Amino acid sequence: MNYNFKLLEDVLGNRITTDEFECALYSTDLAPLPGIINLLFKTTPDAVVRPETPEEISEVMKFANKNRISVTPRASATSALGGCVPTRGGIVMDMSSMDNKIEINEKERTVIVSCGVVWKKLEKVLNINGLALMTYPSSSPSATVGGWLSSPGCGVGTLKYRRVHEQVLGMEAVLPDGEIKGYSEKENHKFLGSEGTTGIITMVKLKVRELPESVSPHLLTFDSQEKFADVIQELVELKPFNISYANRAYAQMMKDVQGDNTNPDFEFRILVVFDGNKKEVAESVKKLYKIKKSGGIGVEPAELAEEEWGDRFNPMRIKRRGPTLLAGDLLVPLSRLNTVISKLGKININGLGIEGSVVSENKAIVMPMYLTDERKFMDFIFALRHLKKMNDIAVSAGGIPYGTGLWNSPYVNKILGGEGLKEKTGLKKKIDPHNILNPDKYLGAKLAIPSLVFHPKMYGLSMFLAEIAAKPLRFVGLIK
């Protein structure tokens, strides 16, 4: 369908393009899309816009609403769930130019920041002023404020300071009809974690903290999964800033990326980090020492722990291990972490890497990952079936897939819960009656054929049939 995008040139100048090559660059996110998706959705936008002010966003939304054109907000595309990939063509709104404001109030310990500012830059500016973020994403060098606030919001520091959503004191957002509106802390829930389906966040006010006087990372290793699972729960009681972990296969992948020919000499490792004033950190380290003495725990040199902590901003370097890396993203009860990891290990995948973090007193993120090759159609298509198994393992343990986007839409009822889904659906219909903003995401696909394909029962059946078909195909060597 042809739209008169020239009307937007008066607003945006050269910050709008309909060039096919440029638009094609916005047809995927961090993960590759199987070609079959292009039969279900129009993933290449008709136009890409790069607004610099809320007023420009407003004009784009008014144009889109008048012409019934879908708008897909996009930040740095650091997710792999298809949440910022268009499904109906339309307009992709690149928010990266909305990065012109960082206003710090040292007395209140707050910051007002534009949605396009990346988290690492924000942390650097805060640190210069003696302040620090409470929590931030591991993808901080590229993830933007608005992008991460639109996600579930678990990251580095969440264990101590809870999800980033709880640090938002207020915000400004542009609604689907183009209205620019401010929202209080009590109203933030309409947009936080909603994956850009109800409004476009343009500016937020965040709580921040004093820059910690001391930071103390410690790297522990384990020869047994059971010991690892027991100790990680003990560590939570010490109230550290962050706990992350990885298995041997993940560590081997990282060594391969770095060109290190040595093999990991552990089954699991934990990086636990304490921060705060010197006295507080010293007391925590003393308690950690008692846990170390319990036996069955290896302790890596302090220099290695510091290096691992310094590398927390580079988790995606593992993609270089490719050619293609697929990963699940699960939120599970901490008490069931050992069970979940054991079940994941029974999936027929060679070299399944697992890494994750503890995000609350009773919840953990688990990211199982494995290698495939998107250039080999059969291998890639059949490799995708494992992602459903991973999600099902999380659900069976009382957990959920972490995030929805497009790929996890068959699990939306599990992720949001029956009442939550009803509430969010009602809000979407009220705020966006024409389904302009990021359609087919978060609340499930609405187009006729995709809604059938991504229906939980049909999705389950197709993955079941794929599993049956995979056995003879693997036997004859057509897939791995």
pLDDT value of residue 384: 86
pLDDT value of residue 389: 95
Class of the domain covering 6-97: alpha beta
Half-sphere exposure of 337 (CA within 13 A, CB side): 30
Total-model pTM: 0.92
DSSP 90: S
pLDDT value of residue 315: 65
The full set of domain ranges for the chain reads 6-97, 102-210
Other residues' Cβ atoms within 10 Å of the Cβ of residue 462: 14
pLDDT value of residue 238: 96
pLDDT value of residue 316: 63
pLDDT value of residue 65: 94
DSSP class per residue in 260-288: -------SEEEEEEEEESHHHHHHHHHHH
Instruction: Kindly give the parts of the chain with pLDDT less than 70.
Output: 1-2, 315-316, 319-320, 322, 447-448, 475, 478
pLDDT value of residue 58: 98
Percent of the chain exceeding pLDDT 70 equals 96
467 CB-near residues (< 8 Å, 6+ apart): 385
pLDDT value of residue 1: 52
Cα 326 from Cα 409, distance rounded (Å): 18
Q: CATH number for 102-210: choose from 3.40.50.2300, 3.20.20.210, 1.10.260.40, 3.30.465.10.
A: 3.30.465.10
Radius of gyration of the chain (CA): 23
